[in-house]
Amino acid sequence: GFFTHCYLFLFCIHVIYLLKCHHWVASLLTVIFFVLYSCYLSVIIYTVSYQQSNDYVVQCVTLYLFSDITLFLLLLDFIFNFIMSTMQEQLDSILKTLNEVKTTQNKLVSSFNEQNKTLKNFNKRFDDLSIEITKLSNENSILKTKVSKLENKLLEIENISSLSSQISELNITNELADRQSRAQNIILYNLSEDSNNKQNSSSDGDRLKLIFNEMKIDFNPINFNRLGKLSNRTRPLKITLMDTKNIFEILRGQSKLRHSPDFKDLRFSSDKTLKQREHMQTLRKELQSRRENGETDIIIKYIKGNPQIINSKNL
C-alpha cells in the first residue's frame, strides 16, 4: 500500500511538472520510478504466488499489468518529449540561423544599396567627365582652328615681310640709283624767267655766268633747264655740273649772294629725291614745333650728307 501511494504521488508530480514545463527530464525520472516499482511488483507476485490465494495473485497481476501499461505510456511520453525537445532545439537553431541569414541579408541589402549609390555617383561623375571631355574636345578644335589661322597669318606675314624686304631692298637700290643720278645736279630757286622769250635758255645761261662770277667760281655747267610747266610762278632751274665737288663749292659760296642787290633772293639747293624732300619737310615741321615749344638754339645741318636737327651752340 505504501508503494502504491508513492507511485500515485510521483505520478501526480510528473503530471504537474509536464503541464508546467513539458520537459523530457521529468518523463525520464518517472520512467525510472516505474521501472523500480515494476521490479518490486514482480518480486511481490513471485513471492505471494506460493503463499497467497488466487484472488490476491490476480490483483497483483492486474496491478503489475497496469504498471506495465503505465510504464509503456510513460516511455511513449518520454520518447515524444525527447523528440519534441530535440526538434525544439533544432527549430531554435534553425530560427537562429534564419535570423543570422536575415541579418546577413540585411547587411547584403545595405551593402548593395551602398554599392548602387556609389555606382550612381560614379555614373554621374562619368557623365560629368564626358561633358567636360566634350567641352575640352570642342575647345581643342577651336584652338586648332585658331592656331591654323594664326599659322596662315604668320605665313602671310612672313611672305609680306619677305616681299617687303625685297621691296625695301628694291626701293633702297632705286633710291641709291636716283641719288646717284642727281649727284651732279643743283637747283636754283627764284631766278626770274625772261617774260619776252621764256623758251630761250640763252638768257638763263648768261645770268648763270654773272652769278658764278659774283660767287668767284669759274666753271661752266654741262646743262640747265627749267623744271615744270610754264605758269605765273617762277620755275626752278636745274643745273648739271661736271663734278659733285662743284655742287659743294656752290652751296658753300651762295652766302656771297646775300650782299648782291641783283642776286640776294637766289637760293641754291642740291637735287633731292622724293624721299629726301619728304624727310626734309618732316625735319622742318619738327624744327618749327620745337622752336614754338621754347627751343631757340636749334638748326638743320647736314652731317655726312644727312640733314639733322642740332643745337647751334655745339657747332
Whole-angstrom distance, CA of residue 6 vs CA of residue 56: 21
- Tell me the three cell numbers of residue 92: 531554435
| Residue 63 maps to a domain | no
pLDDT value at residue 313: 74
Residue 217 sits in the same domain as residue 192: yes
| Residue 294 maps to a domain | yes
Residue that is last in its domain, among 256, 271, 286: 271
| Residue 77 maps to a domain | no
| Residue 2 maps to a domain | no
How does DSSP assign 134-179, residue by residue? Answer: HHHHHHHHHHHHHHHHHHHHHHHHHHHHHHHHHHHHHHHHHHHHHH
pTM equals 0.45
| Residue 103 maps to a domain | no
Residue 200 sits in the same domain as residue 141: no
- Domain boundaries, position 297: 272-314
Residues 6+ apart with CB under 8 A from 207: 191
pLDDT value at residue 203: 80
CB 16 within 8 Å of CB 24: no
Whole-angstrom distance, CA of residue 160 vs CA of residue 224: 42
| Residue 14 maps to a domain | no
Helices (H) and strands (E) in the chain, counts: 6, 6
| Residue 9 maps to a domain | no
Residue 231 sits in the same domain as residue 266: yes
Q: How many domains does the chain have?
A: 3
Whole-angstrom distance, CA of residue 250 vs CA of residue 267: 10
Residue 159 sits in the same domain as residue 220: no
Q: Could you report the per-residue pLDDT of 291-307, keeping only the tens digit for each? A: 899 888 888 887 777 78
Query: What would the mean pLDDT of 112-141 be, rounded to a whole number?
Result: 87
Residue 267 sits in the same domain as residue 277: no
Residue 264 sits in the same domain as residue 286: no
pLDDT value at residue 285: 92
Residue 257 sits in the same domain as residue 201: yes
Residue 212 sits in the same domain as residue 278: no
Q: Could you report the per-residue pLDDT of 161-220, keeping only the tens digit for each? A: 666 666 677 778 887 888 888 888 999 998 888 765 544 566 888 888 888 888 888 878
Count, residues in the chain? 315
pLDDT value at residue 2: 46
Whole-angstrom distance, CA of residue 307 vs CA of residue 315: 15
Determine which of 11-20, 78-87, 207-216, 233-242 has the lowest per-residue pLDDT on average: 11-20
CATH code of residue 226:
3.30.70
Q: Is the dihedral of CA 131, 135, 138, 141 positive or negative?
A: negative
- Tell me the three cell numbers of residue 47: 513471492
Predicted confidence (pLDDT) at residue 129 exceeds the cutoff of 60:
yes
Residue 208 sits in the same domain as residue 253: yes
Residue 250 sits in the same domain as residue 200: yes
CB 48 within 8 Å of CB 64: no
Residue 194 sits in the same domain as residue 222: yes
Query: What would the mean pLDDT of 44-59 be, rounded to a whole number?
Result: 56
| Residue 130 maps to a domain | yes
Query: What would the mean pLDDT of 16-44 be, rounded to a whole number?
Result: 55
